[in-house]
């Protein structure tokens, strides 16, 4: 399988990353100019980022209740993922099953060698074999693209801004800032809010681009984009029938899912972790045209 790169999508991903880097540099310059103890904040943010990077798989599995399964427990699923991993030139990931009426799947792990691919028992009943393969190939594409690392690095500046905002709030609440320092800290606080909002919007945009890339990767691995289109339509249609309390139980993993269980919470596309279904289908139809050679 030839892994054809979508240069338009790749350019958007790199441009978003560049904007985040520039935002980080400007923010650090402002903090240094106001004499903020930046290194302490940066070290704390680095520590949080490293913890998230190395333990994200365990945290997501714990929060969703997904359980690791062995080959003899789910032989058909194991064989399916093993075949797809060979097609994608990836090591075999760990597999996990999540008991939930929410039909969905996700991938986590800091690298291809430490990846976990999980799916709910309900999605295994809902989809055909080809559709399930397409969904699992989407998750393997996240692994191949190292999206956990990408999103961890992207969230670094947002964590710093968030920590400064919280520090200012609690210090002001406890009277920890004197009048002489107050003016400078108010400026830093306002700048932190602006940086946090901008970086969050950029991270959400990057997340949406990663979903487009994973959809494309699935189509290239399976050579069957139509199967993923069918799967996305089925999952989206069934999601409307899932009780709200069941969706609330998986809210913590919403950003990891192939289709967010709580997509209705996003006021607009700008605030969503996933692209609209219509745009994803249009993107997959474009890939289908490429695969047919015209």
Q: Does residue 139 carry a catalytic annotation? A: yes
User: Is the distance from CB of 117 to CB of 92 less than 8 angstroms?
Assistant: no
Rounded Cα gap, residues 107 and 126, in angstroms: 19
| C-alpha distances out from residue 67 to 117, 133, 147, 192, Å | 11, 20, 22, 39
The neighbouring-strand residues paired with 98 are 120
Choosing from 2, 139, 211, 251, the catalytic residue is: 139
The set of residues, in sequence order, having a beta carbon less than 8 Å from that of 210 and lying 6+ positions away, is 13, 142, 145, 147, 150, 151
Residues 274 and 259: beta-carbon distance below 8 Å: yes
Contact of 64 with 121, CB cutoff 8 Å: no
- Catalytic residue ranges: 139
């Amino acid at each position: 399988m030839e892994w054809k790169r979508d240069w338009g999508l790749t350019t958007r991903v790199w441009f978003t990353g560049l904007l985040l880097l520039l935002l980080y540099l400007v923010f650090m310059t402002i903090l240094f100019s106001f004499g903020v103890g930046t290194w302490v904040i940066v070290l704390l943010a680095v520590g949080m980022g490293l913890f998230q990077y190395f333990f994200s798989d365990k945290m997501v599995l714990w929060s969703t209740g997904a359980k690791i399964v062995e080959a003899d427990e789910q032989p058909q699923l194991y064989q399916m993922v093993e075949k797809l991993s060979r097609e994608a030139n990836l090591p075999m990931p760990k597999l996990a099953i999540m008991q939930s009426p929410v039909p969905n799947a996700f991938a986590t792990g800091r690298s291809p060698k430490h990846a976990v691919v999980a799916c709910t028992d309900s999605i295994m009943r809902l989809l055909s074999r080809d559709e399930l393969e397409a969904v699992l190939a989407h998750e393997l594409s996240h692994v191949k693209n190292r999206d956990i690392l990408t999103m961890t690095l992207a969230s670094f500046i947002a964590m710093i801004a968030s920590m400064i905002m919280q520090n200012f709030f609690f210090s002001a609440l406890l009277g920890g800032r004197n009048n002489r320092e107050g003016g400078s800290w108010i400026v830093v606080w306002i700048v932190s809010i602006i940086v946090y909002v901008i970086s969050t919007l950029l991270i959400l945009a990057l997340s949406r681009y990663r979903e487009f890339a994973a959809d494309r990767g699935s189509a290239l691995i399976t050579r069957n984009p139509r199967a993923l289109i069918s799967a996305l339509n089925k999952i989206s249609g069934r999601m409307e029938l899932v009780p709200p309390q069941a969706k609330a139980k998986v809210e913590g993993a919403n950003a990891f899912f192939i289709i967010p269980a709580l997509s209705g919470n996003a006021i607009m596309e700008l605030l969503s972790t996933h692209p609209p279904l219509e745009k994803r289908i249009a993107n997959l139809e474009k890939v289908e045209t490429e695969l047919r050679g015209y």
